[in-house]
Structure 1
Amino acid sequence: MSLDRPVTPNPYPLLPAVPSFTVTSEDVTEGAPLKDDQVYAKGNTSPQLSWSGAPEGTQSYVVTCFDPNAPIVSGFWHWVVADIPASVTSLDAGAGASDATLPGGYHVRNDFGTLDFGGAAPPEGDQVHNYHFVVHAVGVPSLEVEGATPAVVGFKLAFNTLARAIITGTYAH
């Protein structure tokens, strides 16, 4: 069964323009299907990510994974990590298992309702979903969003993001 609805656009070009920098991954290839490791019902493991070229003045990072193609108005937040120290420029595969596995910073509750990475989980037979893994270079050392929702994190990022790096994987059942 396929849901009959238009494809949701990439939301990031709709935000205030900021410079970009580079994010790479050993696990996510731009525009390619995600590995089973990044699928909720299979490996449910956060991917390895590395970034470089963030602008001067970066005081922390926020890493997110967002699916705008979820069949709901707000899209679906799979991963939100806030207040990663500016000295950190990579996350190992599996770093999203808990706050204890992060090299700094903390998880904000995702749309699964958990404080960790939640892998790709589109409805059976739905369109291809895009999973935007985004590293936000932030101009303050802390967004002060512990206990907040992803929407609040997004609101604070709108005023504190210096640059953004994006790598997008896809997945469909």
Structure 2
Amino acid sequence: MLKRNVVAGFMLALLSATTASAADFKLSSTSIAEGQQLASTFVFKGFGCEGGNQSPQLAWSDAPAGTKSFAITTYDPDAPTGSGWWHWNVVNIPASQTSLELGASSDKELPAGALEIRNDYGAAAFGGACPPPGEVHRYIFTVHALGVEHLDLPDNASNALAGFMIGAKTIATAKITAVYNR
């Protein structure tokens, strides 16, 4: 009985430590802010939108123990598609990386080994906001701490497949949700 209580206590302490580490994981940006309107720099150029189509500056800190790589996703759950809209999906970001500079996608200044998945516009790059006129959409920027060094994805991986693999290997996430309307 005592041995079982010691093991249970150890497991509870381990779980609490892991949860606390994951809770400390933070995403910040000098480009975007929680609940705030995206600047035109982060708006798509096309489909009636006239923006800069640049990826924002992002920085993350306090990744939980066991993090071996990161993935970044940008998703619009309000797109009138039935499945939302994937604006950006980057996988295989080394665990030593803790930020991406403004325009890293368009300038192709991603870390060595990082892989951009084709977005729902059809480009392997960041695709900015471009909701239908009169609609306010949310843009969820998420950094995922992964428990693997890289995701083994085919060259033509869909966002659904990448999302599944990211979800299966995620230890913790940190998010910023911005909005945009035109």
Q: Using structure 1 for the length normalisation, give the TM-score.
A: 0.85
Q: Which residue of 1 aligns with 2:90?
A: 81
1:66 maps to a residue whose letter is: Y
Q: Cα distance, 1:125 vs. partner?
A: 1.8
Q: Aligned equivalents of 1:42 and 1:73: distance in 2?
A: 25
1:90 and 2:94 equivalent?
no
SS across alignment from 1:80? strand
Q: Which residue of 1 aligns with 2:143?
A: 135
Q: Aligned equivalents of 1:157 and 1:136: distance in 2?
A: 8
- Please tell me whether the aligned partners of residues 66 and 76 of structure 1 are also in contact (alpha carbons under 8 angstroms): yes
SS across alignment from 1:155? helix
Q: Using structure 2 for the length normalisation, give the TM-score.
A: 0.81
Q: Aligned equivalents of 1:146 and 1:133: distance in 2?
A: 23
Q: Which residue of 2 aligns with 1:12?
A: none
Q: Cα distance, 1:31 vs. partner?
A: 0.3
State the percentage of identical aligned residues.
46
Q: For each residue in 1:70-107, what CA deviation from the matched residue of structure 2 results, as whole angstroms up to 9, or x when unmatched?
A: 00111000000010000000000001116x32023010
1:115 and 2:124 equivalent?
yes
Q: Cα distance, 1:145 vs. partner?
A: 1.9
Q: Which residue of 1 aligns with 2:41?
A: 37
**Which sections of structure 1, spanning at least 5 residues, go unmatched?**
1-16
Structure showing the higher helix proportion among its residues: 2
- Please tell me whether the aligned partners of residues 108 and 146 of structure 1 are also in contact (alpha carbons under 8 angstroms): no
SS across alignment from 1:97? coil
Q: Aligned equivalents of 1:146 and 1:131: distance in 2?
A: 26
Q: Cα distance, 1:19 vs. partner?
A: 3.7
Moved over 4 A (4+): none
Q: Aligned equivalents of 2:172 and 2:105: distance in 1?
A: 22
- Please tell me whether the aligned partners of residues 22 and 63 of structure 2 are also in contact (alpha carbons under 8 angstroms): no
Q: Which residue of 1 aligns with 2:28?
A: 24
For these two proteins, the number of residue pairs brought into alignment is: 155
